A and B are shown apart, each in its own frame.
Chain A
């Protein structure tokens, strides 16, 4: 188990956190959701964060994405330390340099598919790279569904739109929170393949929080969290190895 030193990874990490802690409550009811975590997410890689419920994996992702404030420690996206940014700058960062895929309800119901895909860019008042958007759209196979509202799309299609949205603005890093949690295994596999291809073919950095070993098997690296602490990592994971590893953790 090797924990890379922050100085070493600065150059090739899309995002990293240093000695990150998040504490809820005070005194006796104090809960340490994150307890001095230092991690680096390498550029162009598909990384999974795994751990049992309450291990702090979602909190880690939220803090790294600037959605939640850490109690102490630092988070960097590229060279920018986001822990000191003001609300306005954080919003801008999320809009321009981060992408998000949530478990469900990823889309704005009043906007159609293509509007949802280009939403972050439209909010920034930019047109976006049309050629790239076309490529993303055709990659996720939505070319003939672009004018449909979310309510007219299946769950799998909705999630593909969400992936396309995350990819469309070419963010530094995409955070995905159980993106296949609400899908059947076949559709889930499709989505995960897209994400893997985005990382390998397009060089997109993706960090995914999941508790599903099969989902984790699509990634390049799996980071394991337990009790708010980093508890090892696994490169080129397979579902079986991840499962074994998790059992080995005793949960």
Chain B
């Protein structure tokens, strides 16, 4: 039997190969995500470990709330300890070296006055730690910063700024821009930077001044003498400091080096846990879809081999042996595909790194880490998925009664099994219950329940798909949809080809009426593309020409030729444009066939076996469902943000921060006030404090109370916002006041993130909190906040001006830019530009989600092509008959294309509808928690998404369609 299995594998190698490909893709993503995260995690683990490896104890102030690593990259919100403690610690027996440690934000300025960016990684400022065991940074050239006014750059900054030792350099910190002398450069271990994060080193005094506050440091790093245990060292320091009295003493903490390392490692684990989850989600989706592609392939193979198996049974093979053959095949396919997938995973990891880097990331290149776990999980999952998805068809094959099988071939089981219906019904009910529960909850709890509901519903859809397939695909196969597809095709053809012409014409009109060569090339190539595409699409087959049938191959060649022809910047466009335009014309031709008999036959074929149709379409269903749901969510967020900002912000301009994760000095607001044309302005500084019932962390905004209501509409205000000018006063949003049961004049006790206690008196209530990014508490910067929080920085300045005309606005912007020249982190923007920038983040998120769609599309194309090919194989005689009685090759091709389009669109339509509903559910639930979300259903995204499936179908059908058209009629008719 083993030999038979091997022979079968060989005989069906091509078909099994395509089925196996979906497993390869799924596993390669699984393995790729493992490899990628393992590699990165290894790098970061090394980074964090080497930073604190030589530390035996750390003396620090405990954060008021949250985890020790909660301060973000610049360890914000830690008040710190008096620098003078260094002598006390040093005096403790067993202590060899003590290094005061300061970490904050510092970013050099280039010659043009712009911030020097090193990707998306943070820009650190540190105090220089001389002891080689307490720091991973090593001095390379020059000397350490010993006196105020001296700095050392890491090598990455030396390259970026092109500065030389001895130069005068400018560095931006939360305290503004200051000038320093560059006295040396340093490396992180042997690297130019710590995984892309840049570092500027200051002398002790400057670090306090610019990064924390004079006289204070964040912590002390301690190295013990040899032979002193970490625990003993920590205990001794603790005991020694217990007698002293100093600021923040109550929150002092001494931890061992081991504990510090554990903290850092768990921080790395948390971050990479998230990244891993994200990529694993990709892999799971891919594998889930693969199950259906594989089981589809096997069930079709088994159906086709019914006869062969029957003769084997008659010849004496047992049921078990027949079962074993199919099983063996699945096992072999699974093993091979998984192995290939794990190998391809290395490539995927490299690809992910490359993609992230091309989106502005700075991931270091290093050897990829392939752990045994990756290989084991990849092989196990891939093989199991394959074997499991082959079980049903294999059982079916074993159940075939030998004689019955010999009589009939190519069984069309169009029925829908009762078990499917029952299970599907039960799951639908479960999904409805979970979703309903989710809808009655709010925030993340509700979202989680809805997520679970969506997951169950997806499986229910997979089970009930066949029930949907007949009516939905049947309806889609009708001429009305052909009209839509044809219109879509015309749109594509025009967009693809004529778009180029328009681009060319615009180039002419923009270029001062000068007809440049590019513009001419644009117009010419646009027209050429249009004509070429049309010619390709309408070409007819000639006598028994085989070459002739390679429609898409020819297209690609012509597109490539066009690229060569296309000249200048239009070349790349042209190739793409021709392809898009050809797709368009094919869609027109195929859509037209829906009116004809070939279209009718295609429609019948699409619903002939609903189980197969729905399983084939599932990849697209899942892909479009995900994208649909997330599009609804992201567009709702965008619209809400835009709408709320427009409604509540009276300012016409804002000053926003150009540095990541850090604001700019509050003095920016004063500068802006002096700009001619500015009527009013206020900064908004976001801090965190702990308060309320139950006590938890909340956001508090620091503002300039006198002008604030002129730049932001707070709605109806009870009490007086101007009263905030008095120290320790606070304004509270009305909704919060109601929740917390607060009245005007009440006092509330709270604690800032740095541990300072404060008692606020409530002086006013305001109505609108949405325009402030849901800030429910406001206090005055100068009067209150600056008294409690060090190095206060503004996150945003709202500016209202009198500029109305275009020239006035231009003058205002020029004046503002001039006034802010010394604040490189502060960017003066129009309100619209700011909103666009904020909203752009949601769009970026969508771009990542679209990568998911792309993956689903690849698998869908494979699945549809595979199923089509096998179905066509099954229908060989029918195709021969159709051709004999007069169906032309064109008609045959467009019939199969239409079938594919109908199947693909069925998947996409179900997915889009499902995704939209769940997206709306998420919006409703998330809106309950943080201010109402406006539901926005982006038809302009969802409709093309559904229509995109027609292109997927078209592409998937290209080979099967051409194969079917080329079938030799005589051989086809006489096929047994």
User: Which residue of chain A has its CB nearest to the CB of B883?
Assistant: A91
A94 and B885 contacting across the interface, CB-CB below 8 Å: yes
Chain B window 583-622, contacts with chain A (Cβ cutoff 8 Å), 1 for yes, 0 for no:
0000000000000111011001100100000000000000
B544 at interface by CB-CB < 8 Å = yes
Give the interface segment out of B535-543, B750-758, B907-915. B535-543
Give the interface segment out of A26-34, A119-127, A203-211. A119-127
* Complex-state Cα separation, A101 to B891, whole angstroms: 22
Q: What is the CB-to-nearest-CB distance from B230 to chain A, in angstroms, rounded to a whole number? A: 79
A96 at interface by CB-CB < 8 Å = yes
* Other-chain contact of A119, B544, B885, B969 (Cβ < 8 Å): B885
Q: Which of chain A's residues have a CB closer than 8 A to the CB of B877? A: 105
* Other-chain contact of B878, A85, A86, A109, A125 (Cβ < 8 Å): A109
B417 at interface by CB-CB < 8 Å = no
With A88-B542, A92-B886, A92-B888 in contact, is A106–B970 under 8 Å at CB?
A: no
B889 at interface by CB-CB < 8 Å = yes
* Other-chain contact of A110, B544, B608, B888 (Cβ < 8 Å): B608
* Complex-state Cα separation, A246 to B474, whole angstroms: 54
* Complex-state Cα separation, A107 to B608, whole angstroms: 15
User: Which residue of chain B has its CB nearest to the CB of A118?
Assistant: B597
B969 and A67 contacting across the interface, CB-CB below 8 Å: yes
With A100-B884, A100-B885 in contact, is A122–B597 under 8 Å at CB?
A: yes
A123 and B886 contacting across the interface, CB-CB below 8 Å: yes
* Complex-state Cα separation, A110 to B470, whole angstroms: 14
Greatest chain A CB density within 10 A among B604, B885, B891 is at B885
Q: Give the contacts of A66-83 with B (CB-CB under 8 A).
A: 67-69
A202 at interface by CB-CB < 8 Å = no
User: Which residue of chain B has its CB nearest to the CB of A87?
Assistant: B543
A67 and B886 contacting across the interface, CB-CB below 8 Å: no
B604 and A111 contacting across the interface, CB-CB below 8 Å: yes
* Other-chain contact of A86, B543, B600, B882, B970 (Cβ < 8 Å): B543
* Other-chain contact of B544, A87, A108, A123 (Cβ < 8 Å): A87
A145 at interface by CB-CB < 8 Å = no
A165 at interface by CB-CB < 8 Å = yes
* Complex-state Cα separation, A215 to B881, whole angstroms: 23
With A62-B970, A105-B877, A109-B878 in contact, is A95–B885 under 8 Å at CB?
A: yes
Q: Which of chain A's residues have a CB closer than 8 A to the CB of B882? A: 108, 119
Contact residue range for chain A? 20 to 34
Q: Which of chain A's residues have a CB closer than 8 A to the CB of B545? A: 87
B412 at interface by CB-CB < 8 Å = yes
B483 at interface by CB-CB < 8 Å = no
A102 at interface by CB-CB < 8 Å = yes
Chain B window 951-976, contacts with chain A (Cβ cutoff 8 Å), 1 for yes, 0 for no:
00000000000000000011001000
Q: Which of chain B's residues have a CB closer than 8 A to the CB of A68? A: 970
* Complex-state Cα separation, A68 to B362, whole angstroms: 65
* Complex-state Cα separation, A106 to B877, whole angstroms: 9
* Complex-state Cα separation, A119 to B543, whole angstroms: 23
Greatest chain B CB density within 10 A among A62, A67, A96 is at A67
Q: Which of chain B's residues have a CB closer than 8 A to the CB of A122? A: 596-597, 600
Q: What is the CB-to-nearest-CB distance from A2 to chain B, in angstroms, rounded to a whole number? A: 32
Q: Give the contacts of B72-121 with A (CB-CB under 8 A).
A: none
B596 and A110 contacting across the interface, CB-CB below 8 Å: no
* Complex-state Cα separation, A65 to B958, whole angstroms: 29
A91 and B601 contacting across the interface, CB-CB below 8 Å: no
Q: Which of chain A's residues have a CB closer than 8 A to the CB of B889? A: 87-88, 91
Interface size on B, residues (CB 8 A): 30
B644 at interface by CB-CB < 8 Å = no
B881 and A106 contacting across the interface, CB-CB below 8 Å: yes
B727 at interface by CB-CB < 8 Å = no
Q: Which of chain A's residues have a CB closer than 8 A to the CB of B601? A: 108, 110-111
* Complex-state Cα separation, A69 to B412, whole angstroms: 34
* Complex-state Cα separation, A58 to B542, whole angstroms: 26
Q: What is the CB-to-nearest-CB distance from A64 to chain B, in angstroms, rounded to a whole number? A: 13
A94 and B884 contacting across the interface, CB-CB below 8 Å: yes
B835 at interface by CB-CB < 8 Å = no
* Other-chain contact of B886, A87, A94, A111 (Cβ < 8 Å): A94
* Complex-state Cα separation, A195 to B877, whole angstroms: 24
* Complex-state Cα separation, A86 to B970, whole angstroms: 17
B887 at interface by CB-CB < 8 Å = yes
Q: Which of chain B's residues have a CB closer than 8 A to the CB of A119? A: 597, 882, 885-886
Q: What is the CB-to-nearest-CB distance from A99 to chain B, in angstroms, rounded to a whole number? A: 8
With A120-B886, A123-B891, A165-B885 in contact, is A86–B596 under 8 Å at CB?
A: no
* Complex-state Cα separation, A171 to B596, whole angstroms: 22
B541 and A87 contacting across the interface, CB-CB below 8 Å: yes
Q: What is the CB-to-nearest-CB distance from B876 to chain A, in angstroms, rounded to a whole number? A: 10
Q: Which of chain A's residues have a CB closer than 8 A to the CB of B878? A: 105, 108-109
Q: Which of chain A's residues have a CB closer than 8 A to the CB of B608? A: 110
Q: What is the CB-to-nearest-CB distance from A250 to chain B, in angstroms, rounded to a whole number? A: 28
A91 and B886 contacting across the interface, CB-CB below 8 Å: yes
* Other-chain contact of A123, B412, B540, B887 (Cβ < 8 Å): B887
User: Which residue of chain B has its CB nearest to the CB of A108?
Assistant: B878
Q: What is the CB-to-nearest-CB distance from A103 to chain B, in angstroms, rounded to a whole number? A: 9
B881 and A91 contacting across the interface, CB-CB below 8 Å: no
* Complex-state Cα separation, A94 to B542, whole angstroms: 16
* Complex-state Cα separation, A6 to B608, whole angstroms: 49
* Complex-state Cα separation, A165 to B884, whole angstroms: 13
Q: Which of chain A's residues have a CB closer than 8 A to the CB of B597? A: 119, 122-123
Greatest chain A CB density within 10 A among B543, B605, B882, B883 is at B543
With A94-B886, A123-B885 in contact, is A88–B970 under 8 Å at CB?
A: no
B542 and A86 contacting across the interface, CB-CB below 8 Å: yes
Q: What is the CB-to-nearest-CB distance from A122 to chain B, in angstroms, rounded to a whole number? A: 4
Q: What is the CB-to-nearest-CB distance from A102 to chain B, in angstroms, rounded to a whole number? A: 6
* Complex-state Cα separation, A120 to B885, whole angstroms: 6
With A62-B970, A67-B969 in contact, is A108–B881 under 8 Å at CB?
A: yes
User: Which residue of chain B has its CB nearest to the CB of A68?
Assistant: B970
User: Which residue of chain B has its CB nearest to the CB of A151?
Assistant: B412
Q: Which of chain A's residues have a CB closer than 8 A to the CB of B887? A: 91, 95, 123
* Complex-state Cα separation, A102 to B883, whole angstroms: 13
B886 and A105 contacting across the interface, CB-CB below 8 Å: no
Q: Which of chain B's residues have a CB closer than 8 A to the CB of A94? A: 884-886
Name 18 interchain pairs, CB-CB below 8 A, sorted by A: A69-B544, A87-B544, A87-B545, A87-B889, A88-B540, A91-B888, A92-B886, A95-B885, A95-B886, A102-B881, A105-B881, A108-B882, A110-B608, A111-B604, A120-B886, A122-B597, A123-B887, A124-B886
B residues bordering A, Cβ < 8 Å? 412, 540-545, 596-598, 600-601, 604-605, 608, 877-878, 881-889, 891, 969-970, 973
By Cβ-Cβ distance, the 8 closest A-B pairs, closest first, are A95-B886, A110-B604, A86-B543, A122-B597, A87-B543, A91-B888, A120-B886, A94-B886
A residues bordering B, Cβ < 8 Å? 62, 67-69, 85-88, 90-92, 94-96, 100, 102, 105-111, 115, 119-120, 122-125, 165
Other A-B pairs beyond A87-B545, A94-B884, 19, CB < 8 Å: A67-B970, A86-B543, A87-B543, A88-B540, A95-B886, A95-B887, A96-B886, A102-B884, A102-B973, A105-B877, A108-B881, A110-B605, A111-B601, A119-B597, A119-B882, A122-B596, A122-B597, A123-B598, A123-B887
